[in-house]
Amino acid sequence: MIASFINHPAIISSLGEGLEQHIEKLLANQSSPLQESDCIRQRHQIDDDTRVLGVVDVPLRPFDTELALQHRSRNNQLVWHAMAQIEDILQKAITRFGAHRIAVIIGTSTTGVDENIPVFKYESEHPNDWSGAPFNQQQQYFSAPADFLAAQYGLGGPTYGISTACTSGAKALMSAARLLNAGLCDAVLCGGVDTLSPLTVKGFNSLSVLNKQRSNPFSVNRNGINIGEGATLFVLSREQLSDSSIQLLGYGASSDAYHMSSPHPEGRGAIEAFKTALQNAAIDASSVGWINLHGTGTQHNDQMEALTVNHVFGAHTPCTSTKPYTGHTLGAAGAIEAALCYGMIDRRLNPQGKLPAQLWDKQTDNELATISLTDEQSCWPQGRRIAASSSFAFGGNNAVLILGEAYA
């Protein structure tokens, strides 16, 4: 594949706003922002327990007053708020290529489904009466964030959404690279977004995988995930739009279809995704200096991922799960973690070459395959900085991105 240039991303999560803030906090080993919250009950006036969540609690940029109802959702407001960070880069792409040559691909799992909660609340109180609140189907299309951004910025290239659960954000970047390689556009506005939703929070609770404390990936004491919310947006392009030399070097995807809610225990599909990504990037495993793990803190996912990483990379490549800082942002996770890879690679944001320390109780699970979790002393190896980011989803859906510095 032809490597695509990645421009400085926009990002918002419970960890903060802007890539600089995220990298600074991660490298300073600050305490996790995940905390007990009743935001599901507060936002939607529905019964729910207080849970440990990754909440974006800053005032979000207001929509234009003339914005159509179909585009109004908290999910879209998260991307709208984040876009303020990269509107100058997008405008540069529009000026160079024309709006008709810019595509939009956004991954999401929640989309705007929460905006229609009043419809179902009313019916539950008035059985078989659906007249109490309007139902706006377009608000909850999986393409809703992409449709909104295309309309807001007048972009005329291919526009669609991707919803493959927790790989959605990573798959959006893969699809962007494919469009660029096919010559169907010259730049792509891509990324992922998800908001804290009763749909996903209660859904994961029904699977008994929500942790009542902060998640603890790869520990013998790990006991599930914390859900978070956030958004990340990139402008990918075939030509360099800024002085950044960081590229999407390769990607790999697979679907082992082992089980509806868990990956193949031997990591067959995950191993295939890693190997495909390395092959597309034309590098070997020893070239990767850091892996941002999916690392949810569940029993089966961590077991499979440790086995996969050990099989492909051995026991010495530095690895970190950043989810104890952001929560698991589901459809946004793959994009958010790709942005964190970008920030760790960027020598202006990370001149000392540090790597973020794994946030956990340091209690090793001897039943897991050996991997090298980072600590406070971990650093990039000398030379070219190349990172891999892994995402895994329901149905055995696997995605791996490889980002790195371009050749000199």
Q: Which residues are catalytic?
A: 166, 294, 328
Phi-psi region of 165 (alpha: psi -120 to 50; beta: other; left: phi over 0): left
Find out whether 172 and 106 touch, Cβ atoms under 8 Å: yes
Which residues is 104 bridged to in the sheet? 159, 189
Structure tokens at 205: 């609770």
Question: CA-based Rg of the chain, rounded to a whole angstrom?
Answer: 20
Give CA–CA dist 237/207, Å, rounded.
40
* Residue 313, amino acid: F
| The length of the chain, given as a count of residues | 408
Find out whether 173 and 181 touch, Cβ atoms under 8 Å: no
Q: Are strands 386-393 and 318-320 parallel, antiparallel or unpaired?
A: unpaired
* Residue 191, amino acid: G
Give CA–CA dist 262/207, Å, rounded.
11
Per-residue 3-state assignment (H helix, E strand, C coil) for 344-405: HHCCCCCCCCECCCCCCCCCECCCCCCCEECCCCCECCCCCCEEEEEEEEHHHEEEEEEEEE
With H, G, I as helix, E, B as strand and everything else as coil, classify residue 195. Answer: coil
Which sign, positive or negative, has the C-alpha torsion 257, 258, 259, 265? Answer: negative
Give CA–CA dist 253/402, Å, rounded.
12
* Residue 177, amino acid: A
Exposure b/e, 249-288, CB count within 10 A at least 16 = b: bbbbbbbbebeeebbbeebbbbbbbbbbbbebbebeeebb
At which residue do the structure tokens 């459809």 appear?
331
CA distances from 365 to 69, 166, 225, 321, 371 (A): 50, 25, 17, 15, 11
